[in-house]
Amino acid sequence: MAQNGTKQGKCGFIMKEGAKFLSWKKRFLVIEKDQGKMSYYVKDDKKVKKGEIVIKTIKGVKLFPDYKSRKFVFGIITSTGRTFFVQAADNENVESWMAAIKEAAGLTEGADVPVPQQQGSVTPATATKPEKVCYDDFETLKVIGRGGFGRVLLVKKTDTKKVYAMKVLKKAAIAARGEIEHTRTEQSVLSKLDNPFLARLHWSFQNEDSLYFIMDFINGGELFHHLSKEKCFPEQRAKFYSAQIVCGMEYLHAHGIIYRDLKPENILLSSKGNIVMTDFGLSKEGLTANDSRTATFCGTPEYLAPEIIKGDDYTKAIDWWSVGTLIYEMLTGLPPFYTEDEENMYHKIMTADLRIPATFSPEVADIITKFLKRDPKQRLQDPAQIRAHPWFKDLDWGALERLEITPSFIPHVKSEDAVDHIDEEFLNEDIHQEDEVPVGGPSGKDAFQNFTFAAAQ
């Protein structure tokens, strides 16, 4: 495992534990500080890239002297809740790698951090064990939402009296509709997220019949609700929401996640007026390289990128098409190629000219046009270029990410458990009435191993 350096930073062969199958593979690790990432390759020619770690997400580096009976192992701890386990050749190489990573990430030498719990890994004895919960730890208050596989409840944790949203999904309904993999992906993605503009999962657990997600109760209402009520937003307000969406999307992409379902219904407003992206059931993990591709036809018709409709393999560029579509909709009330006839809408997405209203500023017209390039190679998708676009020239991105900018619109919310912006149809439901489940189909009872999760509180 020879070690050396480049103009960019330290590089060399290491052994790395895989995230999915937990097998160890030899990888050529390179600290590419000028690009803000650490990349690992199959060989030292760097032709086949297997993944990367975004340097700004590194929160600590910790020695694991006897990890799974392996010596010379250290962990690279990230803000996503994942620890990358790496084995070096000897103590000297461990110390060299840890020092180089700390230097690249701007960490104080010797600084220690708690190690997040993650599925499939051994939790060190020194780590604080997250609290485990079950259904009986919560008091159910109201029904606040409903989906194809279950419903969402407003609940209160009996010991702390803190309110949460509890998403309850019936295993039989999920299995009957062939959505087991999507549900597993949603839980896996949520368990890794740590970003102010993305929904936060506190706990997930299950019983014989149901799955439970315990999440923050975001009670400022759906963006869809506010847009329907106001018809369209002023450009400055649309810019504020768009910038926060850019931050959330950049975070997802940096962690190898493609979202695939951006739309007003999946964006909530907090009580302070900031956006929170939700519903990761259509997301896909593992797209760590910039050119990583997938091919599943999924999403909401109005927001589908042309390459999805064509049936081509596609990259994370499809998410930026949906960002452009959403900006247009926030300013006009409708997506740019919308028609009630779905086939006609697909045709327009593929071929119709983009019509920019005269009321748009030149800057917003330009960024929408660049997001809605039909050729994904020409589409605006580099986060650095997006942040530097003239439409965002007056924006302090750091203050935005620290939630230090006061939104121009703050929803009227009386308290943390207020349901002013929840549809009356849900609130009037009997909270004790059980959902019907498919009869005679697969139960899905054994399909959700490793579903239990508890975040550090």
Residues 277, 215 contacting (CB under 8 angstroms): no
* pLDDT beyond 90 at 39: no
Mean pLDDT of the region 157-173: 94
CA distances from 124 to 68, 83, 133, 454 (A): 11, 12, 21, 16
Query: What's the pLDDT score for residue 113?
Result: 42
pLDDT in tens, 386-429: 999 999 999 999 999 999 999 999 999 988 889 989 888 888 98
- Is 70 exceeded by the pLDDT of residue 1? no
Q: Whose CA is closest to 423, among 138, 154, 163?
A: 154
Q: Give, rounded to a whole angstrom, the gap between the first and last alpha carbons of the chain.
A: 39
The confidence band for 457, taking pLDDT boundaries of 50, 70 and 90, is low
Mean pLDDT of the chain: 87
CA dist 163 and 140 (Å) reads 10
115 confidence band (pLDDT: 50, 70, 90): very low
Confidence (pLDDT) at 157? 95
Instruction: Say which of 136, 209, 261, 417 is annotated catalytic.
Output: 261
The answer on pLDDT for 320 being more than 50 is yes
pTM for the model stands at 0.72
Q: For residue 4, what pLDDT band results from cuts at 50, 70 and 90?
A: low
* Residue pLDDT, tens place only, 125-150: 334 457 889 999 999 999 998 877 78
90 pLDDT band, cuts 50/70/90, is confident
The whole-angstrom separation of Cα 73 and Cα 66 is 7
Other Cβ atoms within 10 Å of 129 Cβ, number: 10
Cα separation of 426 and 1, whole Å?
60
pLDDT, greater one: 446 or 370: 370
- Distance between CA atoms of residues 427 and 273, nearest Å: 23
Give the pLDDT mean for 305-312.
96
pLDDT reading at 305 higher than 60: yes
Q: CA–CA separation, 185 vs 260, rounded Å?
A: 13
The whole-number pLDDT of residue 437 equals 62
User: In terms of pLDDT, which residue wins out, 7 or 432?
Assistant: 432
- For residue 341, the Cα-to-chain-centroid distance in whole angstroms is 31
pLDDT, mean of residues 27-49: 86
pLDDT of residue 445: 65
Report angle CA 61, 64, 70 to the nearest 5 degrees: 130
% of residues, the chain, pLDDT over 70: 88
- Integer Cα distance of 287 and 94 in angstroms: 28
Query: How far is the C-alpha of 270 from the C-alpha of 221, rounded, in Å?
Result: 8
Confidence of residue 121 (pLDDT cuts 50, 70, 90): very low
What was the pLDDT predicted at 449?
Answer: 84
Residue 251 Cα distances to 91, 126, 223, 326, angstroms: 34, 29, 20, 18
- The 3-state secondary structure of the chain reads CCEEECCCCEEEEEEEECCCCCCEEEEEEEEEHHHCEEEEECCCCCCCEEEEEEHHHEEEEEEECCECCECCEEEEEECCCCEEEEECCCHHHHHHHHHHHHHHHCCCCCCCCCCCCCCCCCCCCCCCCCCCCCHHHEEEEEEEEECCCEEEEEEEECCCCCEEEEEEEEHHHHHHCCCHHHHHHHHHHHCCCCCCCECCEEEEEECCCEEEEEECCCCCCEHHHHHHHHCCCCHHHHHHHHHHHHHHHHHHHHCCCECCCCCHHHEEECCCCCEEECCCCCCECCCCCCCCCECCCCCCHHHCCHHHHHCCCECCHHHHHHHHHHHHHHHHCCCCCCCCCHHHHHHHHHHCCCCCCCCCCHHHHHHHHHHCCCCCCCCCCCHHHHHCCHHHCCCCHHHHHCCCCCCCCCCCCCCCCCCCCCCHHHHCCCCCCCCCCCCCCCCCCCCCCCCCEECCC
pLDDT computed for residue 176 by the predictor: 87
Question: Which residues make Cβ contacts (< 8 Å) with residue 358, sequence separation at least 6?
Answer: none
Domains along the sequence of the chain with CATH: 3-105 (2.30.29.30), 135-218+415-454 (3.30.200.20), 223-401 (1.10.510.10)
- What pLDDT, on a 0 to 100 scale, did the predictor assign at position 310? 94
Least confident window among 39-48, 254-263, 420-429: 39-48
Greater confidence (432 vs 193) lies with 193
pLDDT range class, residue 158, cuts 50, 70, 90: very high
Number of Cβ within 10 Å of residue 19's Cβ equals: 20
Q: What is the pLDDT of residue 95?
A: 86
Range in 105-109, 147-151, 242-246, 386-390 with the lowest mean pLDDT: 105-109
Task: Report CA-CA distances (Å) from 170 to 153, 174, 399.
Answer: 14, 6, 41
What's the residue count for the chain? 457
11-20 confidence digits (pLDDT tens): 999 988 875 4
For residue 86 the two structure tokens come to 């790496």
Q: Which two tokens stand for residue 375?
A: 């050729």
Active site residue 261: yes
- Out of 66-70, 103-107, 124-128, 233-237, give the one with best mean pLDDT: 233-237
Q: pLDDT tens-digit profile of 321-356?
A: 999 999 999 999 999 999 999 999 999 999 999 999
CB-based contact 94:15 (threshold 8 Å)? no
**Across 244-262, average pLDDT:** 95
Q: So what's the pLDDT on residue 114?
A: 41
Check whether 22 has a pLDDT greater than 90: no
Which residues share a beta bridge with 32?
Answer: 37
